[in-house]
Every structure is written in structure tokens, then in C-alpha cells.
């Protein structure tokens, strides 16, 4: 059964107000307000998708993967323990903070705290409205987006993300000795990707996908206008065919902002193999 999508991420940031302004004013996310010192951001009808915690790491603090049922969550709990990964239940305080019904906590092979949960609060009574005019993000069964992690121990990565969490390889991009691998758990081409090289942060980037190419262009204009560092120019990826740009977030790691990725259908999907990241653009990647 495994996990069904990337549901939320928590970021430890030294300047939450700057990250919130970046996310809301430039990328078009919606603030859900600040409670107990934590600022939460929305991308859709869910109560939140991004939590900004005051901290010195300027990095990913935790990632939450959604699980469809309590039965599936129990299976994952057993699978993690059997494979030698740490596992404990989230207490009532944590369930309330995350606005979920049930949760187990583990750690991926790179040391990233991972929360597997059921039932993230929906706030359909307060519709998503982007303060920047972004039309809509691609979420739903595809979750909030994707992130890319460093995985020096490839076998252990596979043991965690594929054997236990149930993700499947979508394709691989081989550039000389360096192979990047991309994994899906729903129609989103990849929810997690990994590179066998160290990164300065836990994630290389976090990706949001919008439903309209103009949303990408408008966001790029707003980032440039605000003086953000555009890490890569607009470009189109070889494997998922997403048209995107990368911008440096106030925490130092990049955000990829794109449109038009192809969807994976497991019934017909064939694992791809590519020799470049992008078919055009993405200068600087
Ligand atoms: Fe990406």
C-alpha cells in the first residue's frame, strides 16, 4: 500500500517573515496565519502544506507523507520496524499541531525526520485564494510537489523509500558518473528524487507545480522584480517535461516552480533513461 503523496513539509528558517513574503507575494501561496510561533502556508483546500518554524538551520525540518488508511499506516509501522528504521507514534500534542488524525514518526536514511499520517485537515470552508493571483497549484492526489535529497547510501535509500514506503522508480538521468533517480507514489512523475552527492542542505530544492504556464511567467517576473536570485533560467526537463525555473529561497535552498509535467500511469509506464537534465534552458542547473 505505502504512502500516497507528499502532504506537508516543515521548514526551519531564520527569517520566517521573509520566507512567508517570498512564498505568498512571489510564489502565490496563501498564509494560514501564525499560531504558537509557527507560520503555516496553504496551496489548496488543506489547512496547511508548509510550516515555517523559527530556527537557525534554514533547511527542511521534516516531511509528512499522506497515507490513505489507518490499516496502511499500521502496515507501514510494521514494515519500518522490520527493516530496522526507527518508528514511534505521534502523541496528541503533535497530532493537534499537525492537524492530522493519526501519525507515526520515522527517519529516512539521510536523517530527515519523516512523518507518515492519515487525515490532514481540510478547510474547504475557507477557499484557497492566492494573494498574488496564482490561478491554482497542482495538488490533490499528486500531493504538494516534490523534493530532491542527497543519498550517498543508495541501497538504504531504496530500502526506505521503495521497499517500505512503496515508491517506484520513474526514470534515471545519467550524466557521466552521476546518476539521478526519480521516484513516484502517485501520478506525479516524482515525489522524491535522489542524487548520490552531498548537498549543502537536506534538500536541493522543493518543487511547486501550477496549473497554468502564465502562473510560471508571472511568478518569474515577481521574483525578478523583488530581486530574488534566479538559480536557473526557464527550461524544460527531459524526463517529466516540466517547464520551470529555480529561485533561491530566503533559506538558501532552491524552490522549483513549474508547469506541465507528464503524469505517470503505472499500467503503461516504462522506466526512462536520459543523459541530460533538460531539453532546453535551465541554465545554471
Ligand atoms: Fe525538481
Please write the tens of the pLDDT for every residue from 172-218. 999 999 999 999 999 999 999 999 999 999 999 999 999 999 999 99
How far, in Å, from the CA of 208 to the mean position of ligand 1?
Answer: 9
What pLDDT is stored for residue 99 in this prediction?
98
HSE of 229 in the Cβ direction (CA atoms, 13 Å)? 9
Question: 5-118 and 140-281 share one CATH topology?
Answer: yes
In 3D space, the residue among 212, 26, 208, 49 whose CA is nearest the CA of residue 123 turns out to be 49
Task: Say whether pLDDT at 159 is over 90.
Answer: yes
How far, in Å, from the CA of 98 to the mean position of ligand 1?
Answer: 25
Mean of all residue pLDDT scores within the chain: 97
How far, in Å, from the CA of 148 to the mean position of ligand 1?
Answer: 7
Rounded to two decimals, the pTM is 0.97
What pLDDT is stored for residue 124 in this prediction?
86
How far, in Å, from the CA of 35 to the mean position of ligand 1?
Answer: 30
In 3D space, the residue among 38, 68, 34 whose CA is nearest the CA of residue 53 turns out to be 38
Mean pLDDT of 151-156: 94
Superfamily of domain 5-118: 2,3-Dihydroxybiphenyl 1,2-Dioxygenase, domain 1 (3.10.180.10)
Task: Identify the band that residue 165 occupies on the pLDDT scale cut at 50, 70 and 90.
Answer: very high
How far, in Å, from the CA of 147 to the mean position of ligand 1?
Answer: 7
How far, in Å, from the CA of 204 to the mean position of ligand 1?
Answer: 9
What pLDDT is stored for residue 231 in this prediction?
98
Task: Say whether pLDDT at 242 is over 90.
Answer: yes
Task: Identify the band that residue 26 occupies on the pLDDT scale cut at 50, 70 and 90.
Answer: very high
DSSP structural state of residue 264: P
Secondary structure E strands in the chain: 5-13, 30-35, 38-42, 50-54, 59-66, 88-89, 102-107, 113-118, 146-150, 168-175, 178-184, 192-195, 203-210, 230-237, 243-248, 254-259, 272-274, 278-281
Task: Say whether pLDDT at 285 is over 90.
Answer: no
Domains of the chain, by residue range, sit at 5-118, 140-281
Mean pLDDT of 35-58: 97
Judge whether 203 and 60 are in contact, CB under 8 Å. Answer: yes
How far, in Å, from the CA of 91 to the mean position of ligand 1?
Answer: 33
How far, in Å, from the CA of 17 to the mean position of ligand 1?
Answer: 25
The domain 140-281 having CATH identifier 3.40.50.620: the answer here is no
Amino acid at each position: 500500500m505505502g504512502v500516497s503523496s507528499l502532504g506537508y513539509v516543515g521548514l526551519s528558517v531564520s527569517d520566517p517573515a521573509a520566507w512567508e513574503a517570498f512564498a505568498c507575494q512571489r510564489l502565490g501561496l496563501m498564509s494560514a496565519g501564525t499560531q504558537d510561533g509557527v507560520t503555516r502556508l496553504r496551496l489548496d483546500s488543506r489547512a496547511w502544506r508548509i510550516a515555517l518554524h523559527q530556527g537557525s538551520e534554514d533547511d527542511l525540518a521534516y516531511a509528512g507523507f499522506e497515507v490513505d488508511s489507518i490499516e496502511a499506516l499500521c502496515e507501514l509501522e510494521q514494515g519500518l520496524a522490520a527493516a530496522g528504521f526507527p518508528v514511534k507514534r505521534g502523541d496528541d500534542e503533535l497530532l493537534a499541531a499537525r492537524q492530522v488524525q493519526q501519525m507515526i514518526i520515522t527517519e529516512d536514511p539521510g536523517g530527515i525526520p519523516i512523518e507518515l499520517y492519515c487525515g490532514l485537515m481540510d478547510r474547504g470552508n475557507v477557499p484557497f485564494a492566492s494573494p498574488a493571483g496564482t490561478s491554482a497549484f497542482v495538488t490533490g492526489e499528486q500531493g504538494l510537489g516534490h523534493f530532491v535529497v542527497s543519498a550517498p547510501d543508495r541501497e538504504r535509500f531504496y530500502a526506505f523509500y521503495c521497499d517500505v514506503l512503496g515508491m517506484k522508480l520513474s526514470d534515471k538521468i545519467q550524466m557521466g558518473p552521476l546518476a539521478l533517480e526519480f521516484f513516484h507514489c502517485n501520478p506525479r512523475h516524482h515525489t522524491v528524487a535522489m542524487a548520490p552527492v552531498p548537498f549543502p542542505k537536506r534538500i536541493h530544492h522543493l518543487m511547486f507545480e501550477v496549473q497554468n504556464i502564465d502562473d510560471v511567467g508571472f511568478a518569474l517576473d515577481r521574483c525578478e522584480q523583488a530581486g530574488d536570485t534566479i538559480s536557473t533560467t526557464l527550461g524544460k526537463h527531459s524526463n517529466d517535461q516540466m517547464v520551470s525555473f529555480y529561485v533561491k529561497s530566503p533559506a538558501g535552498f532552491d524552490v522549483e516552480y513549474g508547469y506541465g509535467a507528464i503524469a505517470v500511469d503505472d499500467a503503461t509506464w516504462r522506466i526512462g533513461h536520459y543523459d541530460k537534465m533538460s531539453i532546453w534552458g535551465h541554465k545554471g542547473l
